[in-house]
Structure formats: structure tokens, C-alpha cells
Amino acid sequence: MKKLMTLVCGAMLAAGILSGCGSQEKAVEPTTAEAAKETTQEAGEETTAEAVKTEAEPVDFSFWCISAHEAFYRSRIDAWNKENPDKPIQVDLVSVGGSDRQSKLLVALQTGQGAPDFCDVNIIHFGVYYDFDEIPFVSLTDLVKDEEDKFIKSKLDMYSYNGELYGSPTQAGANVVFYNTKIMKEAGVDIDSIVTWDDFVKAGETVAEKTGKPMTAVETTDMYPFQSMVLQKGSDFFDEEGNVIINNETNVEILEYLKSWLDDGIAVTMPGGSNTSENFYEFFNNDGMGALIMPLWYMTRLEEYMPDLSGHLAVRPMPVWEEGQQYTSACTGGTGTVITNQCENQELAKEFLYFCKLSYDANKECYLQLGFAPFRSDVWEDEALSVNREFFNNENVFGNVAASLKNSNAIHNNPMVPKAFDIVSSDVMYSVFEAGTSTPKEALDRAADTLNSQK
């Protein structure tokens, strides 16, 4: 374990953290029904008593989760208990804020006490746990080994290390484009004619000329759409062996391409710096730009924070670099649900996690309840997903983009990924697009030097 981690954890412990949310009481394993047969003689006749069933006691689990997913998890817990009366569970589901959740989990796993049985771990932080002498999560590989062809492989790879799966994805995380149809109509742009990025740029030029508004926005304190476009073109910040390739020719060219969008007035820097900013919510909600490049999961955020877009927002596939290319989209962001090594009832926990997130029904319900694209491709043809969504131009959103999700690229995860994400978000994007103090090549070369010095 790196010395820095130990120091951070010591400081956090001194400040006080959430204590012992894991299952501390001994769980009672559910029992199978036993038939009790009693034979008696009465008036020469033999009578048989009915089988007596013992009632199973629920097994206690603890779960630190993302608040936005809490209602979904509760529905899956209820469904499990309904379908498995012989193996009931009782889950202490606690919604914990993102950075707080990750910090508390890190300390609990380093000290060996106080970790929950289940925890949602954001992809930004997942690689940190690969730096432990022994990865502190239960392997989930056996849960998917007989169904590997049904999952988006790259999505499972995001939460895997040395051939073992340690986290269950929540959704495909595949990127799409949300088009403001009011602006597109005013500009005379047919969004279904936008197939390649060059088409997107030409449409952006028309939008800027006809409406005086930018086509899109680029983050300066996060990575969209840079990382999405990097992955879609088959590149990454690291290769499969963990070597730093963040400053390769492909990545430099993409960053230069995005810089040209700003220089030509096709794009602006995103108000507030990122897609989570209230400044951006207001900007996009007030028809501030023509299109937003984000994963499909952003649908729920649009509905909640940008209600005035209802009815004039259409969802289409991410444009490609050239027709027939290997990857048609990119899996970015996301949360992997883990079972920690402090869980006492690991086999039952794995059964529930499969039911909750990896099963066919779980993937279907996740889309219906949260709008998250299923990472199981066998769910894509389910009629339940073929529903028109009034907010999104009253169209069948998933039907519009499903074909583009099949070949989605994702990151090569390793212990250095969190650091790379931080450098790109806090330095590269800002210095190139906001401050203008670095060229794309200078910023990426600096990032590569920093990462290589810390390996």
C-alpha cells in the first residue's frame, strides 16, 4: 500500500468516520422446509401429520449507495424477498455522498473494520483498490462466466483486474447526443443526416450562423466530450499493460479538434465547468446550445434539472469518425457495486447482487426506473424498452440508439486511472480550453510526464 494512502487514512480516522456499518451480528442462514411425519394408531388407522415448515430469519446486510439509485435498490430488495421467501434479506441501505462514500470506504478497508457488505464505487475511484496487497473486494467472475456473451465486454472490463471481475456495472454508460430540436429546426438542420463528426461540425456551423448559438459545449473541469471521443477512436489514457499513452498522436489530434470547435464558434466552454453545474443546467434549459454529448444515463438529470426542454429534446447515436469504424460509442462514467471482504455472508451476497444488477430483469428494470441503458445486450430486444418517452420528443429513445451501443469501447482500468482522470479534469481541459495557457500537445505531454513520474 502506498505510504500516501496510509497517511490520508490516518488523518481521516482522526477526524472521525462512519463506524461499523458492516454486518456485525451473526447472520442466520435460511433453513429449508422440513417435513415432520408423525405416525399414530387410532382405531386401527394410520394418520400422517402435515409437513411443518420452519420460517427463515432474514440475513442482515449493509449497503452504502448513491442516493439517485436508492429507490431502485429498494425495489430490487423487495423483489428478492418476494421471489425468495426461503432466503429473506434485510438491508440497511444508507445513501452516502460520492466523495464521502469513497473516503469512508477506503479507510474502512485499510483498517480492516467498519466497511459495509455492499458499496457503490465510482469508476473514478475504482482503480485505487487495485493498489492493495490483496484487492479488498469479492470476485464476481463466476456470476457472469456462463453468460459472458450477453454482456458488453468492455463494460465488465472496466471493473476487472488481472482477469477477475470485482464490480457489477449499473448501466452501459454509452455516449449519445441530445439534440435541441427547437434549435435544429430553426437552423434547418436534419439531425438524422448527422452520421460523422464532420457532419456534426457542418451542422454546428449552420446552427451558429442561423441562430447565433453554439452547437455544443466542452467541459473545463471534467472530461466530456474529450474522453468519449478518445475511446470511440480506439484510444485511451493507458494501454492494456498499464503504459501511459495519454499523449499519443490520436489523443493530441482529438484535443486539437475540440479546440478548433471553440476557435470557430461551434462550441463554448461549458458554463460552470461541468455537466453537474447549476450554471450549465440553466444554460441548456434555456435553449443555450444545440446539442449535448453525454452518456444515455444523463436522461434522468435532464428530466429533473432541465424541465423546460421537455418535448423538444431528441436522442441520437454518437457521430462516428468514419463509417464502418470498430467502435461506434464509448462507455464512460459509471458505478460498480462491490461486495467487500468484510462481508460475512458472501455467497448469499453474490446471489443477491446478481439478482439486483446483473440479471436480465435487473437490467430491464434499471432502464425503466432510471433510464439507464442495459449492459446486457439480450435485454435490448425486450418490448418493455420500446416505449416512447414524452420528454424526449415522444420517441422510442432506446430504439434510436441501441444499435450504436453494441460496439462501445471502455477504459483500461489500473491503479493509476484515478490520477489520470484528475489530471485531465483539473489541468488539461482547463489549461487548453479555459486559460489558454497550453497547447493540446503541451498539456498532454505534461500529463504523461506527471503520470510516469508517479508510477
Residue pLDDT, tens place only, 249-262: 999 999 999 999 99
Q: How far apart are CA 177 and CA 226, in angstroms?
A: 14
- Domain-embedded: residue 410: no
pLDDT for 193: 97
Residue 282: give the domain boundaries: 175-330+415-453
Report how many domains make up the chain.
Answer: 2
- Provide CB contacts within 8 A for 440, sequence distance 6+: 252, 255, 256, 259, 432
pLDDT for 46: 38
> Do 129 and 198 lie in a common domain?
no
Q: What residue has cell string 440508439?
A: 401
> Do 310 and 218 lie in a common domain?
yes
Dump strand ranges (E) for 106-159: 118-122
> Do 376 and 321 lie in a common domain?
no
> Do 197 and 250 lie in a common domain?
yes
Question: And the C-alpha cell for 435?
Answer: 486559460
> Do 274 and 294 lie in a common domain?
yes
pLDDT category, 320, cuts 50, 70, 90?
very high
Give tens-digit pLDDT for 421-452. Answer: 999 999 999 999 999 999 999 999 999 999 99
> Do 228 and 103 lie in a common domain?
no
When pLDDT is averaged across residues 140-146 and rounded to a whole number, the result is 97
- Domain-embedded: residue 402: no
pLDDT category, 173, cuts 50, 70, 90?
confident
Q: Closest by alpha carbon to 30, among 84, 83, 87?
A: 87
Q: For the chain, state the CA radius of gyration.
A: 25
- Domain-embedded: residue 264: yes
> Do 251 and 360 lie in a common domain?
no
- Domain-embedded: residue 404: no
Strand partners, 92: 62
Average pLDDT, the chain: 88
- Domain-embedded: residue 201: yes
Domain boundary residue among 364, 385, 406? 385
- Domain-embedded: residue 403: no
pLDDT category, 98, cuts 50, 70, 90?
confident
- Provide CB contacts within 8 A for 81, sequence distance 6+: 58, 88, 89
pLDDT category, 387, cuts 50, 70, 90?
confident
- Domain-embedded: residue 354: yes
23 or 331, higher pLDDT: 331
Question: And the C-alpha cell for 354?
Answer: 446478481
> Do 180 and 193 lie in a common domain?
yes
Query: β-strand 89-95 against 59-65: which pairing, if any?
Result: parallel
- Domain-embedded: residue 356: yes
> Do 236 and 187 lie in a common domain?
yes
CATH number at residue 269: 3.40.190.10
pLDDT more than 90, % of the chain: 79
> Do 379 and 316 lie in a common domain?
no
- Provide CB contacts within 8 A for 187, sequence distance 6+: 203, 206, 207, 209, 210, 211, 290
> Do 289 and 420 lie in a common domain?
yes
> Do 160 and 208 lie in a common domain?
no
Determine contact, residues 121/334, Cβ cutoff 8 Å.
no
pLDDT category, 17, cuts 50, 70, 90?
very low
**Mean pLDDT lowest for which of 214-218, 397-401, 435-439?**
397-401
pLDDT category, 56, cuts 50, 70, 90?
confident
